[in-house]
Amino acid sequence: MTTKAAATSNRPSVRSPNRRRVLGGSLRRRIFLVLAPGLIIIATVVTALRYVAAERTAEQLFDRTLLAVAHAVSRDVVLSKGDVVTEALLKSLTSSLGDNVYYHVRGPRGEFVTGFASPPIGPRGLSPPSEAPLFYNGTHYGAPIRAVALREHIADPLIGGWVTVTVWQTTRRREAMSIQLALWSAGQMFGVIGAAGFILWFGVAWALRPLNSLREAVEIRSLDDLSPIKRPAPKEARSLVAAMNSLFRRQAASLAARDALISNAAHQLRNPIASLQAQAEAAASAPDEPTLRLRVDALAAAARRAGRLTKQLLSMELASTRQVQLDDKIDLVAVARRAAEARAPEALGKDIEYSFNIEGAPRPIAGDELMLYEAVENLIDNALKYGAGAPIRVIVAFDKARARVVVENDGPPVPKNLRERIFERFVRDAPEDHRGCGLGLAIVREIALAHGGGAACLNRTSGAAFEISLPR
């Protein structure tokens, strides 16, 4: 069944719309969905940080210039004796700074000396408290500005004393510059992300290519091809491939066994059916009644053999396909006793000494009653067929580890080289005799294995003994 599903899976099934496409459908999509948001978040944070940094840099740069201008203005004022700063200086300042520059100079007693009449008012009033330059933000006629206020001592007879110079500048250009810087950096980041995404999208596809090759390897398989997949698999998929190969191997083994069973079964059934036909025809041409009775008896015996064989084939089928129910605790002694009782009349009728014994303390075991009955009956059947009329003992034994059913007889021992092979299907001690069909012990083993136990031909110095052992 599994083979069929694996080998005939349709090509487009992976993309079928009723799958959960987002997460279940594609590994590539999964990887992409995990990585892309992360990248975008990182890029956004980096861009924001760069914007802040750019703004700070620009501020420092402009502040330094503003301070230089303030110093220049104060010198100029001294040189021109309180006159207006030369137009040339102002023009050159404006063109180098980009934004308009304004200044205001105030004398030691607070009197206006030169410059624009109304300077922006700083956080500490019109005069900074110390000699250190004071930078501040403000507005001037509605426009945002950056200002510096500076106190300088001028040794001049006219305006001698502490002079306050305030220089300010609109910050439009500066703002524009930081925004520009931030935009560039954002552009770079998203360019890098785009490139990474592109590489990721195609790189993942490339990385996953070995999986596609595996899929093809499975797809092109015919139904009977159960050889292992030999294509190289990436490390991550190796265990999957190993599991599949192991499944293929087991499937192949089971199919081979089944094929062998069917072909053997057909072969085995041919014999009894041929003899049925021959004996029926012989009966039809019997010259007198006693002969007829003899031939019909032979016919009945042949039919019995054919019946036994089909029954065994069914048991085999049952043993190998039935899901053994191990949940139930069953009474192994009762099961073995029923099987022993069922075959007792036949044994006693042939004057075979026949006994049933219990060893150890019986306890319930987990098992399938029907299957275990079948197994025990098969062992007894075996002893009846091949035991040459020697005593048969059925023993149910319990010890600490296991429960066992042993069927032993004092008949001919099983040759050493056959003790294991005899459990294979259609292997018999004497292939030329037609008493058995070679399935009984195979069934026994199959059932024992299904119970997690085992079946074995015991090593005895005389006679033959077979054992089913079941775990606790």
Partner 1 sequence: MRIAVIEDNEPLADAVANALRDRGYAVDLLSDGLEAEEFLCESGADLAIMDVNLPGQSGFELLRNIRRCGATWPILMLTARGETADRIAGLDAGADDYLVKPFEMSELLARVRALGRRRGGQTALQEKVGPLKFDRAGRRLYSPDGPLELSRREISLFAALSERSGRIVSKNELADAVYGVGAEVEENAVELLVSRLRRKLRAVGVEIRTARGLGYLLDAEAE
Would you tell me which residues interact with partner 1 (CB under 8 A)? Answer: 304, 307, 311, 314-315, 318, 337, 340-341, 344-345, 347-349, 351, 354-358, 369-370, 374, 394
CB of 355 to partner 1, least distance (A): 4
CB of 401 to partner 1, least distance (A): 24
> H/E element holding 382?
helix 369-386
By CB atoms closer than 10 A (0-12, 13-18, 19+), residue 442 is buried
Phi, psi of 457 (to 5 degrees): -95, 120
CB of 335 to partner 1, least distance (A): 11
CB of 391 to partner 1, least distance (A): 10
3-state secondary structure at position 115 = strand
Closest to partner 1 by CB, 253 or 348 = 348
Cβ density class 87-115: b for 16+ within 10 Å, e for less: eeebeebeeebbbbbbbbbbbbeeeebbb
CB of 28 to partner 1, least distance (A): 53
User: Could you tell me if 85 and 77 are in contact, meaning their C-beta atoms sit under 8 angstroms apart?
Assistant: yes
Closest to partner 1 by CB, 220 or 284 = 284
CB of 278 to partner 1, least distance (A): 19
Closest to partner 1 by CB, 394 or 414 = 394
User: Could you tell me if 154 and 161 are in contact, meaning their C-beta atoms sit under 8 angstroms apart?
Assistant: yes
How far is C-alpha 26 from the geometric centre of its chain's CA atoms?
Answer: 14
Quick one: CA dihedral 105, 111, 112, 113, positive or negative?
negative
| CA pair distance 396, 358, nearest whole angstrom | 5
Closest to partner 1 by CB, 337 or 385 = 337
Closest to partner 1 by CB, 218 or 280 = 280
Contacts of 273 (CB under 8 A, 6+ apart): 306
Closest to partner 1 by CB, 219 or 341 = 341
> H/E element holding 345?
helix 332-349
CB of 264 to partner 1, least distance (A): 21
Contacts of 118 (CB under 8 A, 6+ apart): 104
CB of 248 to partner 1, least distance (A): 32
Closest to partner 1 by CB, 126 or 370 = 370
CB of 367 to partner 1, least distance (A): 13
User: Could you tell me if 405 and 396 are in contact, meaning their C-beta atoms sit under 8 angstroms apart?
Assistant: yes
- Residue 337 per-residue DSSP state: H
Count the helix, strand and coil residues of the chain and give each as a percent rounded to the nearest 5. 55, 15, 30
Closest to partner 1 by CB, 204 or 340 = 340
Closest to partner 1 by CB, 322 or 419 = 322
CB of 306 to partner 1, least distance (A): 9
Phi, psi of 200 (to 5 degrees): -60, -50
Phi, psi of 471 (to 5 degrees): -70, 160
As given in the structure block, the two tokens for residue 215 are: 């899929």
Contacts of 39 (CB under 8 A, 6+ apart): 193, 196, 197
Closest to partner 1 by CB, 83 or 281 = 281
As given in the structure block, the two tokens for residue 107 are: 């004398």
